Amino acid sequence: MSDSFTTRVLNVASGSRERVVDLTRECEAFLREAAADRDGLLNLFVPHATAGIAIIETGAGSDDDLLAALHTLLPADDRWQHRHGSPGHGRDHVLPAIVPPHATLPVVAGRMELGTWQSVCLVDTNISKDNRQVRLSFLG
């Protein structure tokens, strides 16, 4: 049985362009308060139909590589049945099937168990939506 469940919503300004937004520092700050050196699980959830959470290296070009790969897999053109919004917006609604809207990470002694180059990121390809919410929940 867990001793605690704590949750917080981050408001993320993702802007009007496709982005990979590193949330690692925000997750660490949340865990400093919520986990207090305990073991548990950190869950992130994006309550949006056109964004996801990825664990990926950032800053060395991998974030741009991810966006390029998504362009290859999900071109922003008129092939999509879902046709409201900006041109090619239907692909944004397929994104969560590839980059899921959630991630759960182990927390040991109050810290995420990430690999050396791993970061927790919001992936947002919807250029029509410039603000996102990410729910952080700690169970420990």
Instruction: Say yes or no to pLDDT of 1 above 60.
Output: no
Supply the CATH classification number for the domain 5-139.
2.60.120.460
Across the chain, what does the average pLDDT equal? 93
Residues 20-71 have pLDDT tens digits of 999 999 999 999 999 999 999 999 999 999 999 999 999 889 999 999 999 9
Q: Where are the domains of the chain?
A: 5-139
Alpha helices in the chain (DSSP H): 24-34, 62-73, 90-98
8 Å CB contact between 83 and 13: no
Model's pTM, two decimal places?
Answer: 0.92
Residues 6+ apart with CB under 8 A from 38: 3, 4, 107, 109, 110, 140
- Token representation of residue 130: 């410039």
